Amino acid sequence: RLKDLEVAELGDSDVHIQMLAAPINPADINMVQGTYSILSPLPAVGGNEGVGEVLEVGKRVTALKPGDWVIPAVTGLGTWRTRGVFPEETLLKVPSDIPVLCAATLSVNPCTAYRMLADFETLAPGDSVIQNAANSGVGQAVIQIAKASGIKTINVVRDRPELPKLVERLMALGADHVVTEEMLRKPEMKDIFKSIPKPRLALNCVGGKSTTEMLRHLQPKGTMVTYGGMAKQPVMVPVSAFIFRDVRLRGFWVTQWKKDHAQDQQSLTSMMDTLCQLIRSGQLTAPACTQVPLQDYKAALEAAMKPFTSSKQILLF
């Protein structure tokens, strides 16, 4: 529910921010449902991502000043609110010369896409990557970041009523090939691999049959990284894929990555700098968004939970 709360007093190491925009991500909904691996103690404010403007800082705060833009550096901050007071170390400064929707959707999906492309296989220009749920926020970021690095993408989506429109949108972002889950089994897949090499990296956000079919096209010794399970079905791997093709199965969770690198500010800063540079050069855009005022949050949550959603709901404050 929407509630009026008192803003906490500003401590010496705290920052008072005015939220500008915050998306509704699948993980946010899972947290509200109580099914996510991190749950905030109740009563809690929803939202793990967004961008805010600094209004005031405590007297020990050195890295931030009024007018700066900040995004959450940690999970569970509770971004679906107009204002909040947070400890300085829970916030990360971002440039205010990037579009507000890019900043609001920066800390989860583009970071996930960037790390998965960088950390599991050494990819060079001309190499290829295959991914399912290619129209998701992460999927759209993967297409654009890969394109900027000269890496080809094979993008798998579910068949749907407005498929041609979706294919056109993903191609406009820089996708090389867009196929449906059904096409993964068809002989036409061979035609794709006449012009590009088989992928060494597969990114899985679905699970179930989609994953098994995608795995067939992975090169021997290739890696499949699972970062979501939208089908709510296990990942099934034929024994032959392990024995005769020595495929590797890994997992990725951006929250864990940030925890593991909490003392390594350099890797976080360099990732953020690269992503902001891509945004400035027009090579990385915000996912397709529907902007909704906070008071209409119920409609936004309902829309975010509908199947085949191609637009991310963004709360505006």
DSSP secondary structure code for residue 74 in this structure: S
Instruction: Give the separation between CA 27 and CA 23, rounded to whole angstroms.
Output: 11
Question: How many Cα atoms within 13 Å fall on the side-chain side of residue 51?
Answer: 22
Indicate the pairing of strand 14-23 with strand 223-226: unpaired
- Alpha helix (H) residue ranges in the chain: 26-33, 100-104, 109-119, 137-148, 163-173, 189-195, 209-215, 239-243, 254-260, 265-280, 297-304
Instruction: Compute the CA torsion angle 131, 280, 312, 153 (nearest 10 deg).
Output: -10
Catalytic residue numbers, as ranges: 36
| Radius of gyration, alpha carbons of the chain | 20
Where residue 236 falls (left for φ over 0; alpha for ψ -120 to 50; beta otherwise) is beta
| 299 phi/psi in degrees, rounded to 5 | -65, -40
How far apart are the C-alpha atoms of 257 and 251, rounded to whole Å? 11
Which residues are registered as beta bridge partners of 251? 226
